[in-house]
Amino acid sequence: MSMNVRSQKDTPPQSRAYVTDVRSLHLDAPTFRMLLELQGPSLGLWRAAEIAVLREQEYERPVLDLGCGDGVVTSFVLSKVEVGLDPDKKVLAQAAERGIYERFEATPAEELPLPDESMGTIVSNSVLEHLLKIDAVLEQVARVLRPGGRLLFTVPTEAFSTWLFLPSRRYAAWRNRQLAHRNLWPVERWVYHLRRVGLEVEMVRPYLRRELVYTWDALELLQQIWICRRRLVSIIWRHLPPSALDWLALRASRLDLSSSTVGGGRLIVARKR
């Protein structure tokens, strides 16, 4: 795949060697429209970037969706997934409604109940940043991947905490506690942990520049305003006419969701040796 690499003068030196794809990134208006309707303005924006980067990739079967949750994001990327794994049975019931998963495993990620070398691709969207037993999970990932198989995962970056709406360490710590973030690592740390289990990073794709992370967080804060036990933004959002959502989706589809620097989030692709 040919890469059009822009200037990276603002990229931290420790990350620059791994940024291989900073092409412009867009999501089509119909998908954006569905996301805005399903998930609202803030989560819809973040998920749009994740879906856009995941759609660029190839998925060798069988595919395991690690931490699949309700399956919304994956359903916008793949039409068929062999295994969905999540420890929460309630969200697996929601994922089943998507109609893309062949079967589910309701177990923690560090206890993958799958045979050795049985998966061609493992995809994981916004999961690994939350995990306490990250090395145990990566060991299981390496075990069940076939030689040459790939792990594709999205995570917030080390820049996330400094690009939020309020430039305060206390505020960033509060937001990260809210979001249960544990592993907001630079690329090098991911490379180290992946290499320990026999996975080599092939590609890094940053997304969501500083301005979009700032906008996302501002929208998140607005959604935390409550009136009469209901979220104010949710009340307004649910009463928007369809034409307004159509207009917003069209405008949003013109946004460049990529980042020429570290990004608020990144896709990392690693292959089993």
| 273 residues of the chain, pLDDT tens digit each | 333 333 344 444 444 445 579 999 999 999 999 999 999 999 999 999 999 999 999 999 999 999 999 999 999 999 999 999 999 999 999 999 999 999 999 999 999 999 999 999 999 999 999 999 999 999 999 999 999 999 999 999 999 999 999 999 999 999 999 999 999 999 999 999 999 999 999 999 999 999 999 999 999 888 776 666 666 667 777 888 999 999 999 999 999 999 998 999 999 999 999
Q: Got the DSSP string for 97-131?
A: TTS-EEEEE-S-GGG--S-TT-EEEEEEES-GGG-
Residue 148 CB neighbours (<10 A)? 10
3-state secondary structure of 165: coil
Amino acid 111: pLDDT: 95
The helix/strand/coil state of 27 is: coil
Sequence-distant (6+) residues with CB within 8 A of 104 are 68, 83, 84, 85, 86, 92, 95, 96
pLDDT at residue 9 in the model: 40
- In this prediction, residue 261 carries a pLDDT of 87
Distance CA 230, CA 224 (A): 9
Map out the domains of the chain with their CATH numbers. Answer: 13-272 (3.40.50.150)
Please give the pLDDT value at position 223: 78
Q: What is the reported pLDDT for 150?
A: 98
